[in-house]
Amino acid sequence: MAELAEVPAPPRDAVLAQLAELKRIAIVPALNEEETVGRVIDEIRDLDPGFDIVVIDDGSTDRTAGIAADRGAHVVRLPFNLGIGGAMQTGYRFAFERGYDVAVQVDGDGQHDPAQLPAILAPVLTGEADLCVGSRFAGGSGYRPSFARRVGIRLFAAVVSAVVRQKVTDTTSGFRAVNRKGIALFAADYPHDYPEVEATVMCVKHKLRLHEVPVEMRERGGGASSITALRSIYYMTKVLLAIFVGLFRRYAVPQEEEHR
Amino acid sequence: MTPLPVSIAAAVASFLLLVVVFELIRSRRLRERYALLWLLTGVVLLGLSLWRDGLNTIASWFGVETYPPAILGAIGALFILVVLLHYSTVISRLSDQNTILAQRLALLEQQLREGATELSR
């Protein structure tokens, strides 16, 4: 992994020291990830044993929930598959109701390396950002998606950058960190189906500050991607429609007491 | 050829459909997922209402020479069938999920009651 050296080293110890003062949680959405979810939990603990971990089991039929519970993670088992949007919002509701200060999203499939969390957390902890996204395209990443994927990624990046009036390179990354404001917003309102792109736009519309930092992602450790070739047309249409309609909605800055 | 008033009425109707669907999404009464088929219906009907030569051509494919707008009605009906079929699958999924929720809730309540009984002993 020679490329990793090009990513500027985050002030890891400073971030971890600051983190130790906060109530922090890692939200791990997982659907049939028995091969990887245990390792993901271990790696988060390796970085910072004080991280609470909640695994949202989105209707797995394998041992995902059992493995996560054996490792001492909180496990929320959804009674049936809600899709990644509904699963993530469950995690944010958990984080909101239990009063967490900062939350990170780490996929249960192992593609996100928890060792890179300090880089993503840094802008949130310093107060520069309310939401920080780990981007595969912001810096010298070795990630080379297929042609069709590249077209989609470019299109989303261009559309989202124009809508939020800020350069955004990776709109579909689910490797993110948010502060309490972000937790409150996502607990109250989170997009369905394919949520990352819309969640990014939603944040900026609600006057939350968005940052991107470069990260490396790994190959998926197991399971299957939720986006197959057939679904990608539906995916693109649905997300573009949602962004377009979203332009005509009014937004308010979220308030802590607004819901429950 | 399609009479002009028919084209205009059809175009206005499909445009209204698009506007209503858009407003329903905007006000969050309709999810994008369930709006896409309606939008497709509106766009196709609007396109065929405005593109009158195209409607004639399509009508002639099916041997409809006397009254091309009949094709508009047929295509509209086809889309409505597709939307209804889609909703049938959605309702089936919802009722399956509803069963699971009711079962889970009943089991949870039963556990809670037994726990309470044990505590009161």
Query: In this structure, is residue A5 part of a structural domain?
Result: no
pLDDT in tens, A10-59: 578 888 988 999 999 999 999 999 999 999 999 999 999 999 999 999 99
Query: In this structure, is residue B119 part of a structural domain?
Result: no
- Tokens 């069709």, residue? A148
User: What is the structure's pLDDT at A140?
Assistant: 60
Q: What is the sign of the dihedral through the CA atoms of B59, B63, B65 and B69?
A: negative
A193 interfacial to chain B (CB closer than 8 Å): yes
SS3 content of chain B, % helix, strand, coil (to 5): 85, 0, 15
Q: At a CB cut-off of 8 Å and minimum separation 6, what does A153 contact?
A: A137, A145, A170, A171, A172
- Tokens 């490329």, residue? A3
The list of chain A residues with pLDDT below 70 reads 1-10, 140-143, 220-227, 252-260
Please give the tally of structural domains in chain A: 1
CA dihedral A66, A67, A72, A75 (to 10 degrees): -50
Contact A212, A135 (CB under 8 A): yes
User: What is the structure's pLDDT at A92?
Assistant: 98
Query: In this structure, is residue A7 part of a structural domain?
Result: no
Query: In this structure, is residue B37 part of a structural domain?
Result: yes
A22, A42, A67, A142, B33 from A39: Cα distances, Å = 24, 5, 10, 23, 34
DSSP A20: T
Rounded distance, CA B13 to CA A116, Å? 54
Residue of B nearest to A244 (CA): B26
Spacing of C-alpha A186 from chain mean position: 11
Query: In this structure, is residue A3 part of a structural domain?
Result: no
Taking alpha carbons only, the member of A197, A248, A228, A4 closest to residue A85 is: A197
Q: Which residues pair with A26 in a beta bridge?
A: A53, A104
Query: In this structure, is residue B11 part of a structural domain?
Result: yes
Grouping H, G, I as helix, E, B as strand and the rest as coil, residue A76 is strand
Query: In this structure, is residue A53 part of a structural domain?
Result: yes
Would strands A52-57 and A74-77 be described as parallel, antiparallel, or unpaired?
parallel
pLDDT in tens, A139-160: 765 667 777 778 888 899 999 9
- B-chain residues within 8 Å CB-CB of A234? 36
Rounded distance, CA A34 to CA A25, Å? 21
Q: At a CB cut-off of 8 Å and minimum separation 6, what does A3 contact?
A: A140, A141, A142, A216
Query: In this structure, is residue B105 part of a structural domain?
Result: no
Query: In this structure, is residue A6 part of a structural domain?
Result: no
Range of the domain at B37: 4-85
Rounded distance, CA A213 to CA A98, Å? 28
- A-chain residues within 8 Å CB-CB of B37? none
Query: In this structure, is residue B31 part of a structural domain?
Result: yes
Query: In this structure, is residue A38 part of a structural domain?
Result: yes
Q: What is the sign of the dihedral through the CA atoms of A84, A90, A96 and A102?
A: negative
Query: In this structure, is residue B101 part of a structural domain?
Result: no
Looking at residue A157, which CATH number applies to its domain? 3.90.550.10
- A-chain residues within 8 Å CB-CB of B32? 192-193, 238, 241-242, 245
Query: In this structure, is residue A226 part of a structural domain?
Result: yes
Please give the tally of structural domains in chain B: 1
Q: At a CB cut-off of 8 Å and minimum separation 6, what does B115 contact?
A: none
Rounded distance, CA A153 to CA B1, Å? 45
Rounded distance, CA A177 to CA A103, Å? 6
Joined together, the tokens standing for residue A100 give 């967490």
Backbone angles phi, psi at A113, to 5 degrees: -95, 110
Joined together, the tokens standing for residue B108 give 């949870």
Closest Cα in chain B, distance from residue A190 (Å): 13
The residues on B that touch A, with CB distances below 8 Å, are: 22, 25-26, 31-33, 35-36, 39, 96-97, 100-101, 104
Backbone angles phi, psi at A179, to 5 degrees: -90, -170
pLDDT in tens, chain B (121 residues): 788 999 999 999 999 999 999 999 999 999 999 999 999 999 999 999 999 999 999 999 999 888 989 999 999 999 999 999 999 999 999 999 999 999 999 999 999 999 888 878 7
Range of the domain at A143: 17-250
A237 interfacial to chain B (CB closer than 8 Å): yes
Joined together, the tokens standing for residue A22 give 């906060």
